[in-house]
Structure 1
Amino acid sequence: MKISKYNTEHYIWGRNCDGWHLVKNKELSVIHERMPANTVEVRHYHHHAQQFFFVLSGTAVLEVDGEEIVLHSLEGKEVSPHIPHQMANRSNEDVEFLVISQPNSRGDRSFADK
C-alpha cells in the first residue's frame, strides 16, 4: 500500500499544527507536518534521536543551539542528539515539512531552556 498524509495516522499538536505519521517504527520515524502562519514549536532536544527537517513548501525558521536558520522550500537541516532546537513559522502562509528521526523520537524529548 502506498503511504500519504491522506491515508495515515493524523494528529494535532501545538496551536492547530498537523502531523501525519508516514513511517512509525522503533528505528525510524518520518512525519509530514504542517504549521499555520505565526506558530512555533516548543524548544527541546532529544537524548538519542538525530533528526532531519526538510521543508516541502513555505519558509520556516529552525533555531538550532541558539542559531536561527531560515529554511526555504526544498531545503533542510540535520539536528544531532542533545542539541536544543525549535521550529517556527513566522510567515503569513502555512509551512509543510518532513521530520525524519532515527531512532524514533517518541518519548525521547526534553524541554530546553533558552
Structure 2
Amino acid sequence: MSVIDTSNAEHYQWGGGCDGWHLVQQAGLSVIEERVPPGGAEARHAHARARQFFYVLDGALTIEVDGIVHRLVARQGLEIAPTLPHLVANRGDVDARFLVVSQPPSHDDRVPVPLTESC
C-alpha cells in the first residue's frame, strides 16, 4: 500500500490531448483521474457491464447521457448505469479535471454508439 497521485500513477493519453491516470486499477474497480482540455471530447459509447461515476474536481464537464445533457461543475458528480449511451466533453474555457470510478473496470467494456445528439 502506498500513496498515489498523478505524479506516480500509470499515465495514458487519449482523444488527441486528453490525459488519464490510473489511481486504482483492480479486477473489480477502476479509479481514474482524467484531464480534458477545452474543446476535448470522447466518442459516444456505452458499457455492457460497467457502472460509472464521474466527479468533477476542477473546471466544468458536459455529459450527454441517452440524449439528456448534464453540465457538472467542481464538486458535482453523475452516475451512469451500464448500457446507457454517453459522451463526455469539455465545453468550458479551462481544463476539466475529474475522477471516473468504474465497477467493474470499463476499458475493455466499451460499445460504440452512433452520435445522434451533440453536447
> TM-score band, normalised by the shorter chain?
over 0.9
User: How far is the alpha carbon of 1:92 from its aligned partner?
Assistant: 1.5
- What is the RMSD computed on CA atoms of the aligned residues? 0.6
Q: What percent of counterpart residues are identical?
A: 48
TM-score (norm. length: structure 1) = 0.98
Q: What is the identity, as a one-letter code, of the residue corresponding to 2:28?
A: E
Q: Is 1:16 aligned with 2:17?
A: yes
Structure 2 residue runs of 5 or longer lacking an equivalent are none
Question: 2: distance between equivalents of 1:106 and 1:85?
Answer: 15
Q: What is the identity, as a one-letter code, of the residue corresponding to 1:112?
A: V
Aligned position for 2:109: 108
Question: 1: distance between equivalents of 2:46 and 2:113?
Answer: 6
Aligned position for 1:52: 53
Summarize deviations over 1:66-102 as a string: whole Å, max 9, x none.
Answer: 0000000110000000000010001111000000000
Question: 2: distance between equivalents of 1:14 and 1:82?
Answer: 22
TM-score (norm. length: structure 2) = 0.94
Question: 2: distance between equivalents of 1:11 and 1:107?
Answer: 15
Structure 1 residue runs of 5 or longer lacking an equivalent are none
Aligned position for 2:88: 87
Question: 2: distance between equivalents of 1:26 and 1:69?
Answer: 29
Question: 2: distance between equivalents of 1:62 and 1:106?
Answer: 18
Aligned position for 1:67: 68
User: How far is the alpha carbon of 1:35 from its aligned partner?
Assistant: 0.2
Count of residues in Structure 1 that have an aligned counterpart in Structure 2: 114
Which stretches of structure 1, 4 residues or more, deviate above 3 A after TM superposition? none
